[in-house]
């Protein structure tokens, strides 16, 4: 008996092995995609930044417009010395990048990339994603604390306060979608938006208050991924680099990758909940059951998500960083009242409809 | 716009929201226009080079055949980066050593302003890179090949002989064609000041052909383009 036959034979006697192998394979796919997101999003960021600032950005590495530049940078980071400061808390310091990365990795598990293309179809997908994306905060405060560096600690504290604050309007902005759809499952929410772009939630034909939800989500989502108008946690000009000031080599790369993966997740959430997920703008083309339909769904989902990532990059290179007190003003004085009023009105609309 | 104090707080609240969206939209529109009408202001450096202004202050260069060793440049130099040892009296006076220490030079250009014969001037060379610190003290006597080659093209200590040899070979091949023209030293002198003010002089090419040490004596061995040759042969005798 060959190894392969033994392997396949063991499936019938021990069914849990199938689950194990499937989970392993799915994990590999997601891991590969997270890495791809990191590499591609950083390249996109640099190109967009260059074009906005009247310079071409990376040009040489890789034949076409420096597409392999990020890969080369990644290889460079892997070869770099892995410095751990003498006074750092070694255990937390080494653990923190992994925790941050795992946070963005776990979120990917619940995201349906197309019709039937998902790792796990949770009934409580939205809840799960919101919970798992908070894991990154623990990693960030671990990194800030264990570095034993005042700038890193400031950065970590700012990041956590910002994250905890913006979590409130973010979740409150998503609740009208949940009320409207009556479900916490991404798949069901997307299927409710089938049949043309006029059915997508962000236009608010089903419930006009979803428009406000969408706008608030965009603002809070950018704040959640710590990007520029709200990147107080790693503001280079005041806090050197914030919580990852002491990190070098591959640990730094993990932080970087997690940041861009989170960016994609924020875009993907907006796509799934407001922009119709994998549905094409017009209800034409093959059905979701065909392979062509699945590929089309994958294409539309990725296109919409990456357009949102582009918008985040675009905003980053347009707006300056705001002060901490302004950040808290935006969160508590503007976003929170707006979302709460919006939540009540949306719930009332659903009740009276 | 108007002072915020004039508005009722409730009005101000919504006005703030309106202004935030308005200004963000304005900013995004400006960067988006930049993004789509992509016109880079940068050049792809090693492949394209930006045109430098006409009077750009690049690396110093000294034309040994024009120098009268008056020491004015060394005196005015604020960082004392020029070393001159003169020789001869009156019209015979010339420099036997003219060193510029680029480790000290700060590109102020004062030496070029005081020079009475315009023999020291600034080129458009910005790629002044040296392999070691000793190399940064550049000896301009005997005459260096041409402006723009002080830096990484300059011979390293070990390479010097090889480079001179190849230059001598080149001179030997050029010689039959141009040696007849290589004569009157007197004719070269009036022409030289006019040439020496522009940056990349054709005269320098002739100078490059002559191996630096024996430049005076082996006059017949070194030659190439017409008017360059006489100047290159006799830098110290340039006064006559």
Question: What mean pLDDT do residues B4-16 have?
Answer: 82
Contacts of A317 in chain B (CB under 8 A): 31
Report the SS3 class of residue A311: helix
Q: Which residue among B16, B30, B42 places its CB closest to the CB of A55?
A: B42
Question: How many of the other CB atoms lie within 10 Å of CB of B224?
Answer: 23
* pLDDT tens track, chain A, 353 positions: 577 777 677 766 777 777 888 788 888 888 888 888 888 888 999 988 888 888 888 888 877 888 888 888 888 888 888 888 888 888 888 888 888 888 888 888 888 888 877 777 788 888 888 888 888 888 888 888 888 888 888 888 888 888 888 888 998 888 998 888 888 888 888 888 887 788 788 887 878 888 888 989 988 888 888 887 887 777 666 777 777 888 888 888 888 888 888 889 889 999 988 888 888 887 776 666 777 778 888 888 899 999 999 998 999 888 888 888 888 888 888 989 999 999 999 889 888 87
Give CA–CA dist A342/A173, Å, rounded. 8
Reported ipTM exceeds the 0.85 cut? no
Dihedral angle sign, alpha carbons of residues A212, A215, A218, A221: negative
Contacts of A230 in chain B (CB under 8 A): none
Q: Which residue among B17, B28, B38 places its CB closest to the CB of A314?
A: B28
The vertex-A231 CA angle with A226 and A232, nearest 5°, equals 125
Task: Say yes or no: A117 contacts chain B, CB-CB below 8 A.
Answer: no
Query: What does each C-alpha distance from B108 to B54, B60, B73, B80, B101 come to in angstroms?
Result: 16, 10, 12, 12, 14
Across the interface, do B30 and A54 touch by the CB < 8 Å criterion? no
Give CA–CA dist A115/A126, Å, rounded. 17
Across the interface, do A56 and B16 touch by the CB < 8 Å criterion? no
Question: How many of the other CB atoms lie within 10 Å of CB of A194?
Answer: 16
Q: Where are the beta strands (DSSP E) in B102-187?
A: 120-122, 137-139
Give CA–CA dist A96/A149, Å, rounded. 15
Task: Say yes or no: A317 contacts chain B, CB-CB below 8 A.
Answer: yes
Tokens of A323: 């002060």
Q: At residue B227, does pLDDT exceed 60?
A: no
DSSP code of B211?
-
A2 vs B25, more confident = B25
Q: Which residue among A50, A53, A314 places its CB closest to the CB of B32?
A: A314
Task: Say yes or no: A52 contacts chain B, CB-CB below 8 A.
Answer: yes
Contacts of B41 in chain A (CB under 8 A): 54-55
Q: Which of B31, B32, B37, B41 to mutate to test the interface with A (most CBs of A within 10 A)?
A: B31
CA of B31 vs chain A CAs: smallest distance (Å): 6
Whether pTM > 0.90 for this model: the answer is: no
User: Sorting pLDDT into bands at 50, 70 and 90, what band is B114?
Assistant: very high
Compare all CA atoms of chain A with the CA of B36 and give the residue at the minimum distance. Answer: A51
Task: Say yes or no: A291 contacts chain B, CB-CB below 8 A.
Answer: no
A89 vs B189, more confident = A89
Helices (H), chain A: 3-13, 16-52, 69-79, 90-109, 125-132, 135-146, 150-181, 186-192, 210-224, 236-239, 249-274, 291-316, 324-328, 336-352
Classify the phi-psi angles of B63: left when phi > 0, otherwise alpha if psi is within -120 to 50, otherwise beta: beta
């Amino acid at each position: 008996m060959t190894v392969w036959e033994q392997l396949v034979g063991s499936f019938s006697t021990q069914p849990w092995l199938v689950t194990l192998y499937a989970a392993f394979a799915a994990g590999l796919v997601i891991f590969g995609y997270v890495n791809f997101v990191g590499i591609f999003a950083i390249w996109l960021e640099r190109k967009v930044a260059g074009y906005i600032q009247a310079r071409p950005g990376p040009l040489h590495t890789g034949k076409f417009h420096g597409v392999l530049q990020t890969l080369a940078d990644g290889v460079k980071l892997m070869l770099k010395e892995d410095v751990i400061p003498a006074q750092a808390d070694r255990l937390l310091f080494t653990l923190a990048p992994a925790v941050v990365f795992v946070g963005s990795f776990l979120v990917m598990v619940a995201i349906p990339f197309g019709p039937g293309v998902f790792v796990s179809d949770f009934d409580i997908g939205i809840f799960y994603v919101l919970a798992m994306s908070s894991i990154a905060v623990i990693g960030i405060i671990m990194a800030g604390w264990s570095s034993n560096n005042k700038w890193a600690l400031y950065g970590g504290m700012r990041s956590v306060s910002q994250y905890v604050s913006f979590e409130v309007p973010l979740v409150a902005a998503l609740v009208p979608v949940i009320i409207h759809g009556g479900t916490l499952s991404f798949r069901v929410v997307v299927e409710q938006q089938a049949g043309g772009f006029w059915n997508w939630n962000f236009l608010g034909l089903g419930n006009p208050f979803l428009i406000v939800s969408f706008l608030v989500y965009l603002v809070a989502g950018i704040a959640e991924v710590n990007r520029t108008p709200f990147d107080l946690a790693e503001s280079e000009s005041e806090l050197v680099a914030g919580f990852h000031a002491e990190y070098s080599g591959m640990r730094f790369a993990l932080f970087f990758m997690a940041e861009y993966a989170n960016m994609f997740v924020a875009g993907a959430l907006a796509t799934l909940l407001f922009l119709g997920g994998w549905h094409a703008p017009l209800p034409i083309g093959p059905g979701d059951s065909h392979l062509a339909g699945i590929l089309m769904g994958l294409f539309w989902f990725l296109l919409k998500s990456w357009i949102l990532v582009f918008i985040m990059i675009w905003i980053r290179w347009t707006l300056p960083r705001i002060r901490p007190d302004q950040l808290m003003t935006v969160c508590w004085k503007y976003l929170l009242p707006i979302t709460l009023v919006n939540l009540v009105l949306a719930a009332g609309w659903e009740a009276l409809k | 716009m108007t002072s915020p104090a004039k508005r009722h707080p409730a009005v101000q609240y919504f006005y703030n929201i309106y202004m935030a969206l308005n200004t963000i939209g304005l900013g995004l529109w400006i960067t988006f226009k930049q993004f789509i009408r992509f016109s880079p202001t940068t050049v792809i450096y090693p492949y394209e080079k930006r045109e430098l202004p006409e009077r750009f202050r690049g690396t110093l260069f000294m034309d040994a055949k024009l120098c009268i060793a008056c020491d004015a440049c060394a005196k005015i130099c604020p960082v004392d980066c020029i070393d001159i040892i003169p020789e001869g009296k009156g019209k015979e006076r010339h420099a036997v050593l003219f060193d510029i220490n680029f480790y000290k030079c700060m590109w102020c250009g004062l030496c070029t302003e005081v020079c009475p014969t315009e023999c020291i001037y600034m080129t458009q060379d910005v790629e002044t890179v040296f392999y070691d610190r000793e190399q940064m003290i550049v000896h301009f006597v005997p005459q260096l090949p041409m402006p723009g080659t002080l830096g990484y093209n300059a011979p390293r200590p070990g390479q010097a002989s090889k480079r001179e040899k190849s230059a001598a070979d080149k001179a030997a091949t050029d010689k039959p064609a141009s040696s007849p023209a290589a004569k009157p030293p007197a004719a070269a002198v009036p022409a030289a000041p006019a040439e020496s003010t522009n940056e990349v002089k054709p005269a320098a090419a002739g100078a490059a052909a002559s191996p630096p040490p024996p430049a005076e004596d082996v006059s017949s061995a070194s030659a190439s383009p017409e008017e360059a040759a006489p100047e290159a042969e006799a830098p110290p005798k340039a006064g006559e």
